[in-house]
Structure 1
């Protein structure tokens, strides 16, 4: 391709402007280990609100599960009998198992509700506890997929796995960590 004096030269694409707010894809260890700034007047970041909202959503799902269990328990118990190769279960044992399962789900929902409120208030222990449980849940889903070929679908573990990943991403952000540690003395 030749250019004549009267034709303008093609210009190269302009370079992207530098975005100082963007972080690189990798960071030196010194920067990663640098403590978060101490700012008691820090406003609640969106990541903390999102993480607490997702934990609250988990608590609401727990309450919906309790309602579903109470309404459909006999169906579920019939399914359990079929899976046990026709072994008949004592009706009292079926009713007792219902209340044990409901108590477990209710306890889990109550803990999630309390953790959600504590995260909103900026308690670091609740944030770390929720992140730890989410990491264990993600690891358990992976282990069951790997070891037992359990499918991860919309009808099985995909929704809870997605919520756990979002909770972990939101609450492990620098802004959520800084907010949770804003009152710690250094």
Structure 2
């Protein structure tokens, strides 16, 4: 043991609560900082979200006529023309495609270590989780494995990865400390 005690080898733990002033302190200018695993994991989760968006888009596209037919049954007198059905499908596809492309662009910028992209992705995850909570609380929507559970789980993992100290330090590594 060479005279070392067990306590000397134990790393010092951080306190459970830290003041905001300490957390907001610049991490230091380090353009050569190695990309942490939390950034790679966060990027992977954003890419997973984009893939899920593509799969949902394919599912909607393949079942569009059935979805419209069920809307016909729910609303009396609602009988869209074939042109209306096609226009509705086009609008859904365009909106979803914009969302998927935004996910891909944000994933790229998170991977490159842009703090604004990291913050935007975390905000969307918070809004998504909050939306599912409100739907559960107010409307009694069940969170099932086939439904919202996977999305909520991915959003929580995304928040955990991108809000870590290493992710924040990497995203802020190009900031110069105030002189």
Deviates more, 1:74-83 or 1:108-117: 74-83
1:23 aligns with 2:23: no
Report the secondary structure of 1:39's partner residue. coil
Q: Say which structure is richer in helix.
A: 2
Q: Which runs of 5+ in 1 are unaligned?
A: 1-14
Matched ranges for 1:66-105 at <5 A: 66-85=57-76, 87-105=78-96
1:106 aligns with 2:97: yes
Greater Cα radius of gyration, structure 1 or 2: 1
The 8 Å contact of residues 26 and 172 in structure 2, kept in 1 or not, is answered as no
1:47 aligns with 2:21: no
Q: TM-score, normalised by structure 1?
A: 0.84
The 8 Å contact of residues 36 and 174 in structure 1, kept in 2 or not, is answered as no
Q: TM-score, normalised by structure 2?
A: 0.87
Partner residue, 1:163 = 154
Partners of 1:28 and 1:185 lie apart in 2 by: 22
Q: CA RMSD in A?
A: 2.0
Partners of 2:33 and 2:12 lie apart in 1 by: 19
Q: Which runs of 5+ in 2 are unaligned?
A: 1-5
The 8 Å contact of residues 40 and 183 in structure 1, kept in 2 or not, is answered as yes
Report the secondary structure of 2:63's partner residue. helix
Moved over 6 A (4+): 15-18
